[in-house]
A and B are shown apart, each in its own frame.
Chain A
């Protein structure tokens, strides 16, 4: 590594669309930075806001939530639940003084490997520019 700040980002991906989209980026061998580590959930509706807050608490510099496009959710509307929770999270993060660019939600279908790579690149770039996340709880230290 070049000594440049390498952000740690946790990506929550739904099994049916986004995870498959990420797999397609793999099959297409489209390179992207290794900063995002993926946690698979069956549905983006499973992403508990606690997971996002815990990720920040445990040292993540950013979080990505990826879901099926509206209307395409394998479970009908879990993605819309995720959308609502993401909006709520943004308000909470704002209250805590955390930049909203650190918490991204987007839709990636199983076919959209290029979009997946773009979301990863954009988020990694944005978080890198923001610099390391300074934990909000005092016990976490620096």
Chain B
């Protein structure tokens, strides 16, 4: 073996502290050393040209470069090795600038340490193996779970760039939560109007042929990894042929069976054949088999008789399980609201006229249960309304974080209440107020300046007690440590903490994507990679990752599209780093310790062979499993036990 050693002088940076001639004398006699060369600036254009030419002339078997930190120029030199016909992994760098020259006062000691570390690198590099990146074919198609703002934005942007996208949506309609809201903060835009163009693009736009919309569907299984997932999808029957239905709604009026409308939180009823609310898209009814008389085995054909299109209603439709291949999966399932019944002193679920913000949104909507009229349970317009902020939020007994959106819709309610019911008295009970952003202050300022609006700060949610008194809601609150006061209102609106959906843990389990301590999908990094999950190829968009508003959800929808479009490119193979772990099945005892320590779920256990195997697509090369394996059956490429041991020996020679 012939090892070439290069020492970069880095101008005077290294040269002034490390005596190249003494290093040469110390290094030249060591085993395997073919030559030693000191170069002025190895990273300069001239230095790189010299190195490339010299490697071609000298043809060393291994290379040691003593220079700056490998964090700066390891890739530079690896590329030069590769272009000179030498496997780039047959090099070891020694960080003589940052670790020696710049920090060691005594020149003799610095020189001695440089020789010592070069000797360690020589021993290590002699064991290096040529490694190469593996390339795999990838599927550029994408699967999006959830058809709210984040999911639709992602789907649309990827479809626009020519990707085939399947959207899996649990409910019969798309648009997520905001299509149920009449007006949106901060600029009082009409929710359905704002989103309608996006929904239309998805359904009938220029690139809609690239989008497959699977409503009433759920992902129930996922196999494979980044670049090549196969997702199993359970598709419930709609009982309506989407191709034939013209959306005339003739069937709905004649239907004799009805049930609570869950889209209006049970505040009114819908038919067994229904669209959840006027304007819901796609404009195709669905049949609720738990309510439909015919699907429950009774005689009824009223909808069939009313339908003007032959074969649009399909009672023979069955549940299907289908599969889709995708290179990446985008989770955009959204969030839920904290259960206000967990704070019984607020009266929710016990007293009439106590609503959650989401319920009140539907009351405000012209396509909602009251057609946009704000009415008490007695059918009257309220003269006074209390809006409770921070319900369950910033509270170690409930939800510790601030959801960040509630204040803004609370002040939107303030504005809408004043507009719809001139003169209405409004009381904001709040723990903290949060209205960051360049547009968000306006609704707050409007409420602050409204003579009919009163702000009352409370310290703890248990300081508030909502009771019923003479047909009104009496709210008892602490004015100071000793004094209490009360206000009487006709209606109470609660703004609960935004929380993970109850079934997000189930989906997380299916995808192998872990939850954070609150139950949201955990991001790879809170600031650098908030839209990537911990699992490569599974991306997060919208409130499934953290409470967020529409703007942030849309932005995350674009962010995940960026990951997909840059990572999975048509016709380009996926490069897999060879710096990963490899299990030797001959040595593996099948104890599965490695499976338990891997943070990336990259190791699987084969019960038939009784051995573990590493998926190199998922492995990030941390080496935790290598150190954990009691049988020494796992090799950490480029950081093998032998290589590290040789380095230790070299240091301690």
Contact = CB atoms under 8 A, between A and B. Distances in A.
B110 interface: yes
A75 B622 contact: yes
Contacts of B645: 50-51, 54
B626 A48 contact: yes
29 contacts: A8-B651, A10-B648, A15-B71, A25-B98, A26-B99, A27-B102, A29-B102, A31-B103, A31-B104, A34-B110, A34-B112, A38-B99, A39-B647, A42-B579, A43-B624, A45-B627, A46-B636, A48-B626, A51-B644, A58-B648, A58-B652, A60-B648, A75-B620, A75-B622, A77-B599, A78-B622, A81-B597, A81-B624, A81-B627
Interface in B68-98: 69-71, 95, 97-98
B116 A39 contact: no
A34 B639 contact: no
Nearest to B645: A54
A34 B641 contact: no
A96 interface: no
B652 A45 contact: no
Interface string A50-71: 1100110011100000000000
B640 to A, nearest CB: 11
Interface in A16-40: 19-20, 22-23, 25-27, 29-32, 34, 37-40
Highest count of chain A CB atoms <10 Å: which of B106, B621, B641, B644: B644
Contact of B623 (A39, A46, A85): A46
A48 B102 contact: no
B641 A26 contact: no
A39 B627 contact: no
B103 A26 contact: yes
Contacts of A137: none
A41 interface: yes
B639 A46 contact: yes
A47 interface: yes
Contacts of B624: 43, 45-46, 75, 78, 81
B652 A8 contact: yes
A138 B149 CA distance: 70
A26 to B, nearest CB: 3
Contact of A19 (B71, B108, B623, B644): B71
B305 interface: no
Given A23-B71, A43-B624, A46-B626, A54 B648 contact: yes
A42 B648 contact: no
Interface in A56-111: 58-60, 74-78, 81, 85
B650 to A, nearest CB: 9
B540 to A, nearest CB: 16
Classify the secondary structure of A's interface with B: mixed
Contacts of A60: 648, 652
Interface string B101-131: 0111110111011001100100000000000
B584 to A, nearest CB: 16
B103 A32 contact: yes
A14 B595 CA distance: 22
Contacts of B104: 31, 34
Interface string B622-637: 1110111000000010
B100 interface: yes
A75 B649 contact: no
A27 B647 CA distance: 25
Contacts of A40: 70
Interface string B39-74: 000000000000000000000000000000111000
A22 B648 contact: no
B99 A46 contact: no
Interface string B533-550: 010000000000000000
Given A20-B71, A43-B623, A85-B627, A34 B648 contact: no
Nearest to A76: B599
Contacts of B628: 45, 81
A34 B100 contact: yes
Contacts of A20: 71
Contacts of B120: 37, 39
- Top 7 A-B pairs, shortest CB-CB distance: A26-B98, A46-B623, A45-B624, A75-B622, A43-B622, A76-B599, A48-B627
Contacts of B620: 75
A3 to B, nearest CB: 14
A87 B16 CA distance: 42
Given A78-B624, A85-B627, 9 more contacts: A10-B648, A23-B98, A29-B102, A34-B100, A37-B113, A37-B117, A46-B623, A46-B624, A48-B627
A78 B621 CA distance: 11
B5 to A, nearest CB: 17
B116 A37 contact: yes
Contact of A55 (B98, B110, B652): B652
Contacts of B106: 34
